[in-house]
Amino acid sequence: MTTMPDGLIVIAKRECPTCALVEPLLPALADSGVPLTVYVQDTDDYARDMSNVIYDETLEHSFRLNVEVVPTLIRVENGVEVERTYGWHRDDWRRLSGNASLGETLPVLRPGCGSKTLEPGIAESLVIRYGSPGFTSRPMEIAASEDLIETCYERGWTDGLPVVPPTRERVLRMLAGTTRQPNEVIGIVPPDLAECTVEKVAINAVMAGCKPEYLPIVLAAVEAALVDEFGMHGVLCTTMFAGPMIIVNGPAAKAVGMNSGVNALGQGNRANATIGRALQLVIRNIGGGRPGELDRATLGTPGKYTFCFAEAEDPAWQSLSVERGFPAESSTVTLFAGEGVQGIVDQKSRTPESLARSFALCLRSVDHPKLAMAGDAVLVVSPEHCRVFTDAGWSKIRLREELDRLLTVPADDMIVGAGGIAEGLPAAMAGSMVSKFRPGGLLIVRAGGTAGLFSAVIAGWAASGPVGSTPVTKEILS
């Protein structure tokens, strides 16, 4: 339907009580001297004794008329809509129809029902069939006999686990999670240096199992990964363990139900699991970063499936995003080239000085106890351990200063050959003091359950820093 018929248009469906209420009025509308067209969404027996009643089986007419509620009454003059009303409102129907006595025996007002065009699954299919979804990605032809999940495996689109087949309807639904245009280019994905659009990210978010409301977080994570300083190409092709880890701060984390508490670094939370997985799939499916090809990790890490959690923010400690220059009310993702999780078990320290020494000793093992200023690290402090510091009046800044002091050690203990170990710092550094981490190379976040005197170290890529990978923080946009 390219033009609207002049006169009155009624859109109805049989199962709607208000549509049944106005059905007896339709002959009076048809006899008023104004042409009447009736579109029925769900049956061919509504107002069956009247002419010009059309069963809108495909819902094309309802879609093109932008119907949200039935019944809808529209007045059209010279092919242009003049006015419409929803449900049954006696004064509105009389005014639009010009029939001053219409519906005298009916109630003054009755609400309508939702249009069939808005039902889940139908709405997206109508946009694809009759609208302008704005897709630019090339559709893949799949035979009716093919199993969609197995096809995703066969075409190399998975990370080893089943993915959700990215049908056009699902992708359209995912794109509703952002106000950004599907064809917006957000960057170039290594190693293939392929152009990445919002639509392509949405496709991979579908495959990862994301909800539409997660998409802005996924987009921010992808943008962070494509910043040169993060060094995604190097993180991908190194033989070491690292992969992108996502830390989310701000209201967005709570809005989508991310886990920052019990088992925050583990399984079980859909947002944590699928947001991190979506980033990995973007790198694989758009950039071509597949294991055994450009991904050359000797051992890898389970975090290369997904590694994503939210910080358990506490007013007593600065959040990671605030430390990195963002307002407290903003939502951000911080991308870190992380390895695995190394637990810190200290159930006896009750003073900040003792616990800081425990942390420092465990942090010494990042990469190797005899290496320094190579890999960054994230120290994840649990709430119970955090309380040891806050009860003593220690801020995060105070803890960081103490760790910097404790992690500055004599190079004599770390040079090659020391302790009978060939690994270590160059012998020329003997006699000096060295810091374990480069300036800014230690991030501290608060996360985990409220019970358990356990924290964790997440080591960074051994090529952390300006020549390798630097943590990147991006604001989450709608």
Query: pLDDT tens for residues 122-142?
Result: 998 999 899 888 788 877 888
- Three-state DSSP at 445 gives strand
Pairing of strands 308-310, 408-410: unpaired
Cross-strand pairs, 70:
113
Residues whose CB is less than 8 angstroms from the CB of residue 246 and which lie 6 or more positions away in sequence, other chains included: 221, 275, 276, 279, 307, 308, 309, 333, 334, 335
Indicate the DSSP class of residue 297: -
- Specify the residue for token string 């019970």: 451
Read off the amino acid at residue 58: T
Residues whose CB is less than 8 angstroms from the CB of residue 332 and which lie 6 or more positions away in sequence, other chains included: 220, 248, 249, 250, 321, 324, 326, 473, 474, 475, 476
pTM for this prediction: 0.87
Report the distance separating Cα 297 and Cα 292, nearest Å.
8
Residues whose CB is less than 8 angstroms from the CB of residue 439 and which lie 6 or more positions away in sequence, other chains included: none
Q: Furthest-apart CA pair in the chain: how many Å?
A: 104
- Specify the residue for token string 């066969």: 154
Phi first, then psi: give them for residue 344, nearest 5 degrees: -115, 115
Q: What integer pLDDT is reported at residue 418 of this predicted model?
A: 93
The DSSP result for 203-234, as a single string, is HHHHHHT--GGGHHHHHHHHHHHTSGGG-HHH
Report the distance separating Cα 209 and Cα 187, nearest Å.
23
Query: pLDDT tens for residues 361-376?
Result: 999 999 999 999 989 9
Low-confidence ranges of the chain (pLDDT < 50): 1
Pairing of strands 472-475, 377-381: unpaired
Q: What integer pLDDT is reported at residue 467 of this predicted model?
A: 83
Domains delineated in the chain: 7-130 (3.40.30.10), 150-475 (no CATH)
CA distances from 264 to 223, 250, 336 (A): 23, 16, 16
Tokens of 58: 């495909």
Report the distance separating Cα 89 and Cα 103, nearest Å.
10
For residues 370, 372, 378, 381, the Cα torsion angle rounded to the nearest 10 degrees is 60
Cross-strand pairs, 76:
7, 81
Report the distance separating Cα 281 and Cα 477, nearest Å.
21
Report the distance separating Cα 362 and Cα 380, nearest Å.
12
Q: What integer pLDDT is reported at residue 2 of this predicted model?
A: 54
- Three-state DSSP at 18 gives helix
